């Protein structure tokens, strides 16, 4: 990291006659942050290109060492430039150049206790965190943080795309909160949250014609609680909220414990006049560092997964052989064996299955239940991931038997104790060469960089809901056109889709249908980012799909060197371009019932012939189409892109487009 200190300013001691004001500008000068201590209340405000993105919003926290929300004076500040390059292998881009202005602001509370607030301001992101210090006699050496006043006070004309935090110990087998709730589109700020528990990160705000803002946090592992946003409070806006005391069956503290001196995780605010900076942001990774080195070279890839369509009944040796064979046929790297394998296949059976898979060039990943005593989820194996001795025994067995990764499910809660469990699983898994996917879980907060064997999390309404209910099958377009701007913008997401069965059943005839087109499903694998991506093919699909569909699914990359936002609006449609090596892929989804036309700017394809996969429009009335079980036929055609790189496309209702 290169740090050039170009500006040092120490505030003149003014005996509090007037407020101190600190101004911080992004390297391009467009983002401006103003921090003040007016009236003893620390606040910040943000403008982007002269437009107010956040009105004066409170800073500060309450801790066991003192109250830092009032009686605050700014004592001084120091600004420097951060200029950092780093490489990533499993997010939306591979080379990151992070340039920011850092301001370290020294504050002091009414008792004279110091507090440092550090801001990092880059061209589209503002981040801040608090550092707490020891007092006189160099004590105490640790502290509890009880609450944060940190607020996000948006202009009045702002609307929201946010997802409610669920009640603790609620839902199926008391496994919530697990970030599996429904977003509302363009809702008013003062609409009470559905469960009275505020909103999960990330939270997307539409600041009218002035632009878009995404609020989240990063750098939270075992060092803090996972936070969320409160309900909207008049005059304050949204504030940082801590976990509910009742999470984890009431065990553990809802407060954060930190050593002194020690820092909180970063609060992040990503903004722009369009959605481009939000889709492309790397802020979750810019602010964290790898916490350990990988012990193995972790391989990205695709996995087959019987459970989504064939469900629990498929957890038997013979069905799993079919999905291993399917992975081998498709050239996929992995096959995920879901819950109940310990009872229905057994450990010896898994050893045999793993040997069979390895002989076909496929490696197994295994599902585990996280619990413990924090929920009632009955699926086994249980009791293998909640203690260090059990993990060690289990992971050693996995390593000896060629298992490549684990999917650990059913956590529930953001207390520090639970955040520590995620970290402990990751650290132990790394020792045994295991990559890790979490389900029924919290949002990852910079984890792809912090933990080199971390792959992705669920932390959204994932594909299982398309299977479970007709409602979610109909909502699939809405949800997949929301995540690129929210959940997947800040962390790899195990959507677990590319559902190629037309009906949510093993016979592919019974139960409810899929409402999205084949091309929508295939394009979703370009839209949703996870370095190990599920492709929910079933063996029957091999004879049902057209050869060019299977060709695309065989080719499907899962790692990206570059991601570009092309067009979109949350909940309605999205078009992204992603580069894998020298090859560009464009994916577009329409989540609505109307065709959507747009001109894509594709300079990377200028003067080239592209292959375009689209849906043949259905010749039916809209009403008939909405209730239709008939999906449009995918067609593949070649197109010559003009020199200006402009390509006119129309995406069919609940359809998609793939260009490569």
Q: Which is nearer to Ca ion, 228 or 439 (CB)?
A: 439
User: What is the pattern of x (binds Ca ion, CB under 5 A) and - over residues 121-160?
Assistant: ----------------------------------------
Q: Which is nearer to Ca ion, 161 or 438 (CB)?
A: 438
Q: Which is nearer to Ca ion, 127 or 340 (CB)?
A: 340
* Nearest-approach distance from CB 53 to Ca ion, in angstroms: 34
Cα separation, 39 vs 127, whole angstroms = 24
How big is the site for Ca ion, counted in residues (CB under 5 A)? 1
Give the rounded distance of the alpha carbon of 30 from its chain centre: 27
Scanning 300-308, 393-401, 434-442, 443-451 for contacts with Ca ion by CB under 5 A, the matching segment is 434-442
Q: Which is nearer to Ca ion, 440 or 513 (CB)?
A: 440
Regarding 412 and contact with Ca ion (CB under 5 A), the answer is: no
* Nearest-approach distance from CB 403 to Ca ion, in angstroms: 22
Write out the DSSP string of 165-222: PPPTT-SGGG---SS-----SSEETTSPPTTSS-EEEEEEEE-GGG-EEEEEEE--ST
Kindly report the backbone phi and psi dihedral angles of residue 405, in degrees, each rounded to the nearest multiple of 5, phi listed first. -170, 170
Cα separation, 468 vs 476, whole angstroms = 12
Listed in sequence order, the residues at least 6 apart from 144 whose beta carbon sits closer than 8 Å to its beta carbon are 63, 64, 253, 255, 256, 257
* Nearest-approach distance from CB 170 to Ca ion, in angstroms: 14
Q: Which is nearer to Ca ion, 440 or 634 (CB)?
A: 440
CB nearest Ca ion: which residue? 440
* Nearest-approach distance from CB 464 to Ca ion, in angstroms: 6
Q: Which is nearer to Ca ion, 440 or 446 (CB)?
A: 440
Q: Which is nearer to Ca ion, 60 or 440 (CB)?
A: 440
Scanning 252-260, 413-421, 432-440, 566-574 for contacts with Ca ion by CB under 5 A, the matching segment is 432-440
Listed in sequence order, the residues at least 6 apart from 382 whose beta carbon sits closer than 8 Å to its beta carbon are 369, 371
* Nearest-approach distance from CB 550 to Ca ion, in angstroms: 28
Q: Which is nearer to Ca ion, 232 or 367 (CB)?
A: 367
Scanning 26-34, 236-244, 277-285, 437-445 for contacts with Ca ion by CB under 5 A, the matching segment is 437-445
* Nearest-approach distance from CB 163 to Ca ion, in angstroms: 14
Scanning 148-156, 378-386, 416-424, 438-446 for contacts with Ca ion by CB under 5 A, the matching segment is 438-446
* Structure-token pair, residue 360: 């076909």
* Nearest-approach distance from CB 179 to Ca ion, in angstroms: 9
Q: Which is nearer to Ca ion, 440 or 477 (CB)?
A: 440
Q: Which is nearer to Ca ion, 53 or 418 (CB)?
A: 418
What is the CB neighbour count within 10 angstroms for residue 569? 18
Q: Count helices and strands (H / E) in the chain.
A: 16, 37
Q: Which is nearer to Ca ion, 24 or 169 (CB)?
A: 169
Q: Which is nearer to Ca ion, 33 or 437 (CB)?
A: 437
* Nearest-approach distance from CB 608 to Ca ion, in angstroms: 41
State the burial class of residue 29 (Cβ atoms within 10 Å of its Cβ: 0-12, 13-18, 19+): exposed
Q: Which is nearer to Ca ion, 121 or 461 (CB)?
A: 461
* Structure-token pair, residue 456: 């992705």
* Nearest-approach distance from CB 385 to Ca ion, in angstroms: 16
Scanning 240-248, 439-447, 569-577, 587-595 for contacts with Ca ion by CB under 5 A, the matching segment is 439-447
Cα separation, 316 vs 299, whole angstroms = 26
Q: Which is nearer to Ca ion, 460 or 577 (CB)?
A: 460
* Nearest-approach distance from CB 214 to Ca ion, in angstroms: 23
* Nearest-approach distance from CB 315 to Ca ion, in angstroms: 17
Listed in sequence order, the residues at least 6 apart from 376 whose beta carbon sits closer than 8 Å to its beta carbon are 173, 174, 175
Exactly one of 198, 226, 440, 655 binds Ca ion (CB under 5 A); which one? 440
Write out the DSSP string of 295-309: SS----EEEEESHHH
Scanning 3-11, 224-232, 440-448, 576-584 for contacts with Ca ion by CB under 5 A, the matching segment is 440-448
Alpha helices in 213-345 (DSSP H): 276-280, 283-286, 307-310, 317-330, 341-344
Please answer whether residues 115 and 68 qualify as being in contact, where contact means their C-beta atoms are separated by less than 8 angstroms. yes
54, 57, 79, 201, 551 from 47: Cα distances, Å = 7, 12, 19, 22, 48
Kindly report the backbone phi and psi dihedral angles of residue 511, in degrees, each rounded to the nearest multiple of 5, phi listed first. 60, -170
Scanning 3-11, 274-282, 435-443, 580-588 for contacts with Ca ion by CB under 5 A, the matching segment is 435-443
Considering only residues 544 through 583, tell me which ones interact with Ca ion, judged by CB under 5 A: none
State the burial class of residue 117 (Cβ atoms within 10 Å of its Cβ: 0-12, 13-18, 19+): buried
* Nearest-approach distance from CB 178 to Ca ion, in angstroms: 6
Cα separation, 427 vs 453, whole angstroms = 8
For helices 388-400 and 416-431, the axis angle rounded to 10 degrees is 30
* Nearest-approach distance from CB 349 to Ca ion, in angstroms: 25
* Nearest-approach distance from CB 378 to Ca ion, in angstroms: 15
Please answer whether residues 32 and 24 qualify as being in contact, where contact means their C-beta atoms are separated by less than 8 angstroms. yes
Provide the b/e sequence for 578-601 (b: ≥16 CB within 10 Å): bbbeeebbbbbbbbbeeebebebe
Q: What does the DSSP 8-state code read for residue 124? A: S
Closest CA to 495 of 653, 334, 308: 308
What is the CB neighbour count within 10 angstroms for residue 48? 25
Cα separation, 160 vs 189, whole angstroms = 6
* Nearest-approach distance from CB 600 to Ca ion, in angstroms: 34
Q: Which is nearer to Ca ion, 114 or 171 (CB)?
A: 171
Scanning 255-263, 301-309, 436-444, 639-647 for contacts with Ca ion by CB under 5 A, the matching segment is 436-444
Scanning 31-39, 188-196, 433-441, 484-492 for contacts with Ca ion by CB under 5 A, the matching segment is 433-441
Q: For binding to Ca ion (CB under 5 A), which residues are involved? A: 440
């Amino acid at each position: 990291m290169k740090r050039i200190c170009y500006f040092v300013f120490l505030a003149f001691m003014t005996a509090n006659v007037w407020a101190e004001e600190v101004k911080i500008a992004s390297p391009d000068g467009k983002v401006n942050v103003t921090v003040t201590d007016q009236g003893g209340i620390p606040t910040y405000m943000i403008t982007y290109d002269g437009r107010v993105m956040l009105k004066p919003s409170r800073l500060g926290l309450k801790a066991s060492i003192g109250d830092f929300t009032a009686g605050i004076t700014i004592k001084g500040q120091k600004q420097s430039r951060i200029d950092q390059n780093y490489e990533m292998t499993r997010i939306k881009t591979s080379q990151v150049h992070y340039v920011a202005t850092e301001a370290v602001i020294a504050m002091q509370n009414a008792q004279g206790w110091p507090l440092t607030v550090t801001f990092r301001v880059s061209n589209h992101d503002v981040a801040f965190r608090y550092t707490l210090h020891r007092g006189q006699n160099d004590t105490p050496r640790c502290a509890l943080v009880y609450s944060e006043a940190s607020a996000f006070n948006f202009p009045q004309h702002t609307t929201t795309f946010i997802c409610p935090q669920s009640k603790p110990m609620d839902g199926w087998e008391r496994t919530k909160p697990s970030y599996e709730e429904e977003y509302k589109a363009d809702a008013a700020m003062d609409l009470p949250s559905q469960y009275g528990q505020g909103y999960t990160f990330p939270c997307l705000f539409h600041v009218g014609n002035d632009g878009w803002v995404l609020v989240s946090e990063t750098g939270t592992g075992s060092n803090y609680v996972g936070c969320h946003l409160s309900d909207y409070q008049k005059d304050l806006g949204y504030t940082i909220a801590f976990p509910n005391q009742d999470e984890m069956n009431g065990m553990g503290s809802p407060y954060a414990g930190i050593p002194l001196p020690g820092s909180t995780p970063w609060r992040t605010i990503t903004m722009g006049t369009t959605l481009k900076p939000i889709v492309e942001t790397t802020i979750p990774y810019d602010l964290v560092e790898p916490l350990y080195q990988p012990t193995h070279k972790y391989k990205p890839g695709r996995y087959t997964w019987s459970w989504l369509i064939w469900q629990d009944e498929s957890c038997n040796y013979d069905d799993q052989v079919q999905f291993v064979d399917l992975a081998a046929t498709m050239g996929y790297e992995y096959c995920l064996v879901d819950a109940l394998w310990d009872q229905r296949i057994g450990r010896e059976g898994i050893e045999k299955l793993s040997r069979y898979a390895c002989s076909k060039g496929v490696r197994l990943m295994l599902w585990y239940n996280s619990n413990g005593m924090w929920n009632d989820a009955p699926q086994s194996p249980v009791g293998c991931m909640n203690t260090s001795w059990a993990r060690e025994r289990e992971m050693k067995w996995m390593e000896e038997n060629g298992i490549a990764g684990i999917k650990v499910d059913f956590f529930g809660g953001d207390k520090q104790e639970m955040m520590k469990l995620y970290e402990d699983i990751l650290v132990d898994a790394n020792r045994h060469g295991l990559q890790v996917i979490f389900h029924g879980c919290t949002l990852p907060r910079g984890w792809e960089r912090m933990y080199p064997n971390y792959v992705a999390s669920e932390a959204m309404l994932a594909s299982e809901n398309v299977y479970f209910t007709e409602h979610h099958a109909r909502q699939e377009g809405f949800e997949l056109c929301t995540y690129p701007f929210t959940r997947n913008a800040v962390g790899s997401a195990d959507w677990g889709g590319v559902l190629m069965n037309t009906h949510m059943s093993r016979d592919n005839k019974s139960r409810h249908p899929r409402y999205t087109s084949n091309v929508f499903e295939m394009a979703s694998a370009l839209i949703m980012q996870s370095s190990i991506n599920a492709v929910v093919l079933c063996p029957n699909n091999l004879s049902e799909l057209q050869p060019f569909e299977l060709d695309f699914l065989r080719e499907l990359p899962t790692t990206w060197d570059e991601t570009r936002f092309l067009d979109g609006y949350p909940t309605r449609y999205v078009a992204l371009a992603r580069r894998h090596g020298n090859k560009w892929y464009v994916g577009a989804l329409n989540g609505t019932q109307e065709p959507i036309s747009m001109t894509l700017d594709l300079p990377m394809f200028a003067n080239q012939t592209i292959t375009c996969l689209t849906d043949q429009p259905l010749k039916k009335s809209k009403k008939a189409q909405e209730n239709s079980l008939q999906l449009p036929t995918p067609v593949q055609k070649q197109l010559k892109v003009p020199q200006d790189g402009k390509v006119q496309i129309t995406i069919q209702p609940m359809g998609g487009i793939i260009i490569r």
